[in-house]
Structure 1
């Protein structure tokens, strides 16, 4: 298996493209990773016109609207190449996207596209309507509408895409109304009521849908509701549009008032529809759940078990799965009651106790005996042999319409003899785990029952406790729902505790549940116990699977990928992935979906995580727990260290602690770190959590080493809060352990953060302390890294000789230890110092040497190469070689965009704008600088933002826009004064004084 993409590479895979909802591409059951927003927009535009050429200009306009960059065509080509690669990785050898002048064309061939399927099915339905075949039309319409998964093109941006999304949504609404018209003609007025009511609530101004709802209500015997629905619609139309209902609605209203016979649905022979037969015995369903909360979508899924005429789609089989306490039985019983009239020959119910520790699981033979008696077979005539019992059961149901609900099932063996062969029967099974043999039965409906929404959870609490009591403490009620994991069982237990204690506030129970050590105790009192419901499933796990579950609870990270199973169990990846999927099947883990690196991520519900940690503390010794965490933390350290090394092209710009990383196999490492920064991005919350856990556990060496490894992500993508959190926690651990080297490394990391935030005074103080500690520890490499950063502040403070002295000292160490990335960085800084001193020749020499060193690093030296090339472009600007500067800067921008380095991109666009100003291309420069300012807003760097505004002020002035020029220069001055860079503030004041209409004596606005 390719860990990178989560699917097997195999030839001749058929791809399934889906636009009717969030953009999605699948190869079999596996999602194909599509890349970033631009890739998704480009693919969407091609999919909206399959088989037709989409010009590159159209793609550019869709991606960037009216402000494309100069490299837009190149970037579109890069997106196309990435999409082609993704499709080939998915097992599709042929070229789906082909180049065709003046753009690209997407050839579907053997692949499928849901918009095409939708159009074909709608056309089929419309033909059936014309041919007077309403049942066929209803079937085709139903299949067409089933293709929709939500808002079309959700998650894809751009004006053109948004216009298409509105068009598709309008098409869906029209199709729904056409389908409903056919179903009303077929007499399905009761079955269409829920969907019609939801449609009218969402679109109150659609008169045709309201007409249909009123008709269905009247035919269902709800005459008063029908009249109220008309009045609600009239009020909406008058208030929103200032118009009265149209003739069709008005005529329907008067017809209902007169009870005109024409409103009744009639069969083809002209007679009235025959009413359903009265429901017969057996009637074994438990009492319905009053006011079932939520579950509208799940109920609709179960509705697919019924044919368009309301009968079972014979024999139909449904399965409801979900974690303990999620409400499977409640849903099954509620749906069964709602459709009971469709099964006039009776409803059978049996609890098979598959997950009940107090009772032995019920066998199929026992259930058969009871069902036969329910079907009026005398006890003396029930066969003794199980096979004969099953045969008699099938024979009795062959010509009957019976609903069978089998609750709490654990295995296929429990239900196989209970599955009827009669076409009018329907079986609904509930269980905690999937039953593959059952899911394979066509037709079927498999409902994976998830948690309630926060709104639904609070609503359920209100029904138990009382709506007034919950409404009085809305914040506490929402928190209580979250602490209960939105799990119906836990919510009912919590609600029952509050209901039995009217003197308690909701906040009081929240305080009790907030202590993780006591939460399961609080929710495991009385007959309903959360812990006990989890325990039954846990004891059914295989030994290795149970061990993985316990140890995942120790990990305590927000989410994770399957690779963590290998170090947790000290096993291979294949075994670990298999066991993780077993936990998913057991409903102990939730699948989140693919992460930034293309790997599937998983997470616990909080209560299941607490239960897992509780089990680990009970069933594994303290020594075992320490060994497990040590191994998995060192695996995180290994991967983060390797990601840093691959990002830099070597083990550069970093020092390491004494902890030996837990090495993973090369093949796995290569698959995980194919895109190192993306892996770090995906694991960022987990890595931050591991640093915190390690620091709290006294693993100071591991904590500070891991922090330094992850800084490459924090720096590049501006995660400043994570940067500070990790460094401060690791610093505290190092100090507590008396670890001078680790303390120095974290002081340096915090100083670099302050420098990033332009608090140079705080940064220099931290660097000075770090330098002293490194000198005491004899850490030359760490000392050189600190000197490099101190030199940068020296240069910005106007102390070039001190900066050169520090830089030269650092350069000697970097060359001695072979840290080529830091060597290139220092050369680059030295070039800037000489450039500031107008020694352009020396600046060029140093810049070119920096570029040479960076280029020698290889692919991982891209960051250093971008810095060196940027400095060389600055040299060209100083020489007024504007074309050479622009050429170099476009290379820089290409590199930093590929790494999502927003700070580097802001610097690059600033310099590019200055190059275009130097060449006299003022309007083009202004567009570039506006783009730079948009990027700078993402990185919180007042110095960069101020420099961009200052340059933009000049460009705006030259374009004749004095108001914009003044606004930007004043903004620059505020930025410079806020961070205390007097030299730049002086330049801003001078620029402001030169603007026309500016009063030099005018006092500046206070900061």
Structure 2
């Protein structure tokens, strides 16, 4: 089957795998996926998909583009380890089979049906819980952001179902007597849907039952006014009847009396304990977690055993607060008692509370006299379970260290519910049916800010929203840290929020600032740290030495100098102990882990206190050298050799061949998974004085930065590595980084800056005696000379570079040089020679064993340009379609934009103006996702020509002017002249009567 995917359409369309969001492409992919999900297990014809994507104006290539979209979706699902057959080809279209995966709209339907059945059987708490879960699935309007008539119709239908479910759920809550809690939300819903009579009926009834009779009458008067003004009719008989009943205070409007949970024969003899701690002040958020815990109420009638809930999470995340808040909310459902015990699993001053001690206290609370409580454990457990057998009691077992602590405390039959909080996963509990397993993460940003506001004061927070958000982030949005920070502000009214942000901004002081007074973040972490086994504690400490935001298991292996599988076992131990969290599965199929910032700071503190500095440095360097080894190998595999790059003598730490092959089966995807960690590794290496490692890691990762257009990451790495190389006087490193910065400037079309960087790099490579680096700069300078119109100088530079490439064996760069020579001859008008050089470039590139698909794409792209110049439009189209396949496989958006541009030109040249316009519009969609001005200008220029031929003159002028502005800004005289020529021709044409601009 593969990995389980989750498809969500009740809001923006998303796909997740193990909590990690998968990249679903642009509007077309989302629209196609939406339609397939709407028709799960049913065939959707291609024509229907075309209509949904393009409405009434599909391009000639629509069916082909639908096939491309389907292939992209399949690739996305397969990259997560899911089966390939989620989307099947089935004449006359496609079918999505969700078997084994989850779809939120199907879950919504199932939960609503469950709730309706429970209502029919008078099981109202269970119905309420099911409705709550169903409505919690909605994250906004269904299929939000998809502009397709077919999908919008279905979205409207689903919205109707949601509102009906909301009304049904409200009716249940009214039956349960929860009218006070309903009023605020009902007011909001009625404001959004003022003509829904049933919703307004519920609001009036809730207001009346809450003692707000005047408000209920005002709600009716408002309805009558709106109905008459907008519909020309009076409200319906139900609303009129409720209005009349409220006027006479009809006794039938009073809420139904609660049904007693125990029979009258024993009601006066039972002791009903209520031992819950006080509710948590300022509690915010956690709506999804409350919805999960509500299933404990829905499950308490079952006969096979107690309803069991488990709340896990790191120290300070608010497990006890959530348990206490929910228990107070659910108290009415447990009329025979609410028991609470802190089992002190992590108390440094006391031993964990044994089960017999908690059991004895619970029995006394339930009315059993002390002299009747047995001393033998078996007898004690038997009496305890007998007393609970016929009762509905909630047991909250807080701060649990192990399953052994709670096993005897679990009731033997249904009716009761047990809620456990722990920092451990309590794996033995998995064998017991669990109705709610809640892993508590940090608070969402808005909830974290709200918590600060409730303690500090809303006015103080509202006047400094940006600083408050920053404060929440510095506290990791961890409730314990947030409460400590808020308490400090509340006790110091002369402090601004920014003042505390500044104090916490220093990482060396942050834990000190959050560890003052009775509540201390550091002490909370210490209580868990002391229980870690030695090898797990060592790994935790050393992970804190790295700046990487997340990492795979091999990083742990490098830090400890052990096998990857051994490191993965220790990482999972740290996950179970809540020191690490899993952030998902990356594109290579590897689990990725991360430390929360405060946990990372504590880990670094422990490493500095417990490990000698040489051991710390050795661990860091092993990890950084392994990153370099893998990045270098990824570059080699992507290019088919050590091509287009100059490496440093920095020591490597290669992984074993098996793990290397597994990680780098798709080199670009590994680089993508490690992108942010690579950027951090470059910065950390530079900071440690490892200048060779820093600059080599940058050049090895540049293939990702350039292909995926991560220009700011590229710039950040190159600048910090350059500064490190300058500090140490490293000429090769300086030259290599100046070459990289030239490439970045060129990508941004800052051509004078690029020229200066390349020239400086070339001089340093010559001084360092590095001919390969010199040739790379000659090649890139030739491109700039060609842009400026100096074709002779450009050719001279290329010829010299090509000789060096052949000497050093850089086959890929040799092909690239031939490719650029072909372009120069093309611009000189020598199409035959351009064809010869272009064919030779393709042959050289294809001669590389496992060569670079991107390099092959570039050379074929040049051949396509030659075919355009020769007016051989069918061959040009064939070449550009081949390029599109190659660049899409690499998610190369820049390459895709250029390929679509060429394809549009080929179709325009062949006279298929509408197809050309559609292709160029698609190219414009792509270029909007990147920052590449030159291709942006060229696309607009050709699109202007296409719309001119369609007679859309205003739109054509708009595109030509956009192109002209780009060429002026980037200093591209040849292209600027072409844009001016198009504008001149447009000015000469008479304006038509109408112009459908777009």
Separation in 1, partners of 2:6, 2:493: 55
Q: 1:589-648: per-residue Cα shift (whole Å, max 9, x none)?
A: 233333454543332222111111111111111111111111111111122112222222
1:222 correspondence with 2:218: no
Q: 1:697-731: per-residue Cα shift (whole Å, max 9, x none)?
A: 11110111111111111211222211211111111
Q: Give how far 1:570 is off.
A: 1.8
Q: Give how far 1:801 is off.
A: 2.0
Q: 2:765 aligns with which of 774, 778, 791?
A: 774
Which residue pairs with 1:792 in the alignment?
783
Aligned residues: 977
1:176 correspondence with 2:153: no
1:545 correspondence with 2:536: yes
Q: 1:80-135: per-residue Cα shift (whole Å, max 9, x none)?
A: 56766887898988956443321123456787766456546656766787xx6443
Q: Give how far 1:680 is off.
A: 1.7
| Secondary structure of 1:99's aligned partner | strand
Which residue pairs with 2:996 in the alignment?
none
Q: Aligned in 2, Cα 1:75/1:624: closer, same or farther, shift over 3 Å?
A: farther
Q: Give how far 1:260 is off.
A: 0.6
Q: Aligned in 2, Cα 1:147/1:234: closer, same or farther, shift over 3 Å?
A: closer
Please identify, of 103-112 and 739-748, the stretch whose mean Cα deviation from structure 2 is larger.
Answer: 103-112
TM-score (norm 1): 0.89
| Secondary structure of 1:339's aligned partner | helix
Which residue pairs with 2:487 in the alignment?
496
Q: Give how far 1:524 is off.
A: 0.7
Q: Aligned in 2, Cα 1:840/1:515: closer, same or farther, shift over 3 Å?
A: same
Q: Give how far 1:333 is off.
A: 2.0
Q: 1:848-896: per-residue Cα shift (whole Å, max 9, x none)?
A: 0011112222554221222211211222222221222122122122222
| Secondary structure of 1:292's aligned partner | coil
Separation in 2, partners of 1:90, 1:512: 42
Q: Aligned in 2, Cα 1:944/1:15: closer, same or farther, shift over 3 Å?
A: closer
Which residue pairs with 2:993 in the alignment?
none
Q: 2:188 aligns with which of 201, 210, 222?
A: 201
Which residue pairs with 1:395 in the alignment?
386
Structure 1 segments unaligned to the other structure (5+ residues) = 1-8, 1000-1007
1:47 correspondence with 2:37: yes
Which residue pairs with 2:985 in the alignment?
994
Q: 1:295-320: per-residue Cα shift (whole Å, max 9, x none)?
A: 33323322211138999996222222
Separation in 2, partners of 1:928, 1:236: 52
Separation in 1, partners of 2:653, 2:364: 64
Separation in 1, partners of 2:843, 2:512: 65
Mapped contact 2:204–2:220 kept (Cα < 8 A): no
1:150 correspondence with 2:138: yes
Separation in 2, partners of 1:511, 1:14: 44
Q: Aligned in 2, Cα 1:714/1:246: closer, same or farther, shift over 3 Å?
A: farther
Q: Aligned in 2, Cα 1:443/1:639: closer, same or farther, shift over 3 Å?
A: closer
Superposed, which structure 2 residues align to 1:748-897 within 5 Å? 748-857=739-848, 859-897=850-888
Mapped contact 2:750–2:970 kept (Cα < 8 A): yes
| Secondary structure of 2:674's aligned partner | helix
Please identify, of 18-27 and 898-907, the stretch whose mean Cα deviation from structure 2 is larger.
Answer: 18-27
Which residue pairs with 2:201 in the alignment?
211
Which residue pairs with 1:615 in the alignment?
606
Mapped contact 1:210–1:229 kept (Cα < 8 A): no
Superposed, which structure 2 residues align to 1:654-693 within 5 Å? 654-693=645-684
Mapped contact 1:153–1:161 kept (Cα < 8 A): no
| Secondary structure of 2:583's aligned partner | strand
Mapped contact 1:454–1:478 kept (Cα < 8 A): yes
Separation in 2, partners of 1:108, 1:468: 49
Please identify, of 277-286 and 810-819, the stretch whose mean Cα deviation from structure 2 is larger.
Answer: 277-286
Q: 1:284 aligns with which of 249, 270, 275?
A: 275
Mapped contact 1:22–1:149 kept (Cα < 8 A): no
Which residue pairs with 1:527 in the alignment?
518
Q: Give how far 1:401 is off.
A: 2.4
Q: Give how far 1:464 is off.
A: 2.5
Mapped contact 2:553–2:592 kept (Cα < 8 A): yes
Q: Aligned in 2, Cα 1:726/1:907: closer, same or farther, shift over 3 Å?
A: same
| Secondary structure of 2:408's aligned partner | helix
TM-score (norm 2): 0.90
Separation in 2, partners of 1:975, 1:694: 38
Q: 1:480 aligns with which of 471, 474, 478?
A: 471
Mapped contact 2:340–2:396 kept (Cα < 8 A): yes
Q: Give how far 1:985 is off.
A: 2.5
Mapped contact 1:227–1:253 kept (Cα < 8 A): no
Which residue pairs with 2:685 in the alignment?
694
| Secondary structure of 2:356's aligned partner | helix
Structure 2 segments unaligned to the other structure (5+ residues) = 991-998
| Secondary structure of 2:94's aligned partner | strand
Please identify, of 69-78 and 560-569, the stretch whose mean Cα deviation from structure 2 is larger.
Answer: 69-78
Mapped contact 1:121–1:141 kept (Cα < 8 A): no
Mapped contact 1:949–1:971 kept (Cα < 8 A): yes
Separation in 1, partners of 2:841, 2:58: 32
Q: Give how far 1:656 is off.
A: 0.6
Which residue pairs with 1:346 in the alignment?
337
Mapped contact 1:913–1:926 kept (Cα < 8 A): yes
Mapped contact 1:317–1:444 kept (Cα < 8 A): yes
Q: 1:891-935: per-residue Cα shift (whole Å, max 9, x none)?
A: 122222322222222222222232233223333333333333333
Q: Aligned in 2, Cα 1:903/1:233: closer, same or farther, shift over 3 Å?
A: farther
